């Protein structure tokens, strides 16, 4: 599931292959960009901003968001793709590489001017040069009645935490995902743990929150409903949380380690 660390790794891999390279052909396969041609432009940098991936081309920026199923792949010219061609949303050719964005949830081309403000709504990037723990802490604490998991998921508070990390963090600090922020003993410590987790996983192929990299032992609660809690042995539960009925998130917790709020 793409979260801030996933996008950071994707941007790092793309940057290694593409930074400084000239686009010799571009093929945008979404209706709104069907006639867009960015060939002849140099890729100045590829970078992430929270869950957003940005390719700087001087006068334009290619913006993508992986959402649930998106991914970026790199191939040699003429190489066999690992995903079906009908899932490709954009194909970018340089002399030595072909970058393919598959099943991208969002794909846009901004002018350089548009790009300067398009993501201003995001909070500090947990993996970015603008990371500001104090600002993120103030943002999370600003709504004390809000559920902890939803506060962590709000990209306006801090950019990069997704559903996996939000629920793993709730378990680590012993709070039910729907417990209000007001009961968090130390919001700054929670925010610091979020930053530490994402940084530790930023260049790993496998996400791990338990410290145990063995297969099947990487996570505390996420995706483990019905299985025993790694701390107390109680069967883990699964439910839904959310502030919008149309945007509910799957939730996992231990009823003993993380008792439901009163």
What digits encode the pLDDT tens for the residues 35-48?
999 999 999 999 99
In what side-by-side order are the strands of the sheet with 60-65? 45-49, 52-56, 60-65, 106-111
Model pLDDT, residue 1: 63
Q: Mean pLDDT, to the nearest integer, of 5-32?
A: 97
Q: What is the pLDDT of residues 150-193, one digit of tens each?
A: 999 999 999 999 999 999 999 999 999 999 999 999 999 999 99
CA within 13 Å, CB half, 87: 15
Residue 160 lies in a domain: yes
Q: Is residue 259 part of a domain?
A: no
What would the pLDDT profile of 50-102 be if each residue is shown by its tens digit? 999 999 999 999 999 999 999 999 999 999 999 999 999 999 999 999 999 99
Read off the CATH number of the domain in which 99 is found.
3.20.190.10
**Pick the catalytic residue: 51, 124, 177, 178?**
51
Could you tell me which of 31, 25, 231, 204 has the C-alpha nearest to residue 127? 204
101 shares a domain with 9: yes
Nearest to 65 by CA among 30, 94, 36, 37: 30
Residues 108-142 pLDDT 10s: 999 999 999 999 999 999 999 989 999 999 999 99
Quick one: 50 and 162 in the same domain?
no
Options 3, 168, 178, 218, the catalytic residue: 3
Q: Across all residues in the chain, what is the average pLDDT? A: 96
Residues 213 and 158 in one domain: yes
168 catalytic, yes or no?
no
> So what's the pLDDT on residue 95?
97
The torsion angle over the Cα atoms of residues 75, 78, 79 and 84, rounded to 10 degrees, is: 90
Does residue 202 lie within any of the structural domains? yes
Residue 246 clears pLDDT 90, i.e. is over it: no
Q: Provide the residue range defining the domain that includes 68.
A: 4-115
**Angle in degrees, 0-180, between the axes of helices 133-141 and 187-201, rounded to the nearest 10:** 130
Residue 258 pLDDT greater than 90, yes or no:
yes
Catalytic entry in 2, 168, 177, 178: 2
Reply yes or no on whether 178 is catalytic. no
Partners of residue 98 on adjacent β-strands: 75, 93
Total domains, the chain = 2
Q: Is 44 a catalytic residue?
A: no
- Residue found under tokens 């998130």: 249
* 261 domain-assigned: no
Residue 227's CATH number = 1.10.8.50
DSSP 224-260: -TTSBPTTT-PBPEEEEE-SSGGG-EEEEE-TTTSPP
What pLDDT is recorded for position 262? 77
């Amino acid at each position: 599931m793409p979260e801030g660390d996933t996008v950071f790794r994707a941007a790092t891999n793309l940057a290694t292959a593409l930074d400084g390279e000239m686009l010799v052909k571009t093929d945008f396969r979404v209706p709104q960009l069907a006639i867009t041609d960015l060939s002849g432009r140099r890729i100045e940098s590829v970078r992430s901003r929270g869950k957003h991936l940005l390719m700087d081309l001087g006068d334009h920026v290619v913006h993508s968001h992986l959402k649930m199923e998106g991914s970026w792949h790199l191939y040699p010219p003429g190489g066999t793709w690992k995903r079906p061609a009908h899932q490709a949303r954009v194909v970018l050719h340089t002399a030595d590489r072909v970058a393919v964005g598959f099943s991208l949830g969002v794909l846009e081309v901004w002018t350089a001017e548009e790009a300067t403000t398009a993501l201003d709504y995001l909070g500090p990037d947990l993996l970015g040069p603008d990371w500001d723990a104090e600002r993120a802490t103030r943002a999370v604490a600003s709504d004390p009645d809000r559920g902890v998991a939803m506060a962590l998921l709000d990209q306006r508070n801090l950019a990069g935490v997704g559903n996996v990390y939000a629920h793993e963090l709730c378990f680590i600090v012993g709070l039910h995902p729907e417990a209000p922020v007001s009961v968090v003993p130390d919001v700054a410590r929670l925010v610091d743990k979020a930053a530490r987790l994402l940084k530790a996983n930023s260049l790993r192929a496998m996400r791990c929150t338990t410290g145990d990299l063995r297969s099947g032992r990487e996570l505390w609660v996420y995706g483990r409903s019905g299985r025993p809690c790694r701390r107390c042995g109680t069967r883990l539960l699964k439910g839904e949380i959310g502030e919008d009925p149309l945007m509910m998130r799957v939730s996992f917790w231990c009823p003993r380690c993380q008792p439901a709020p009163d």
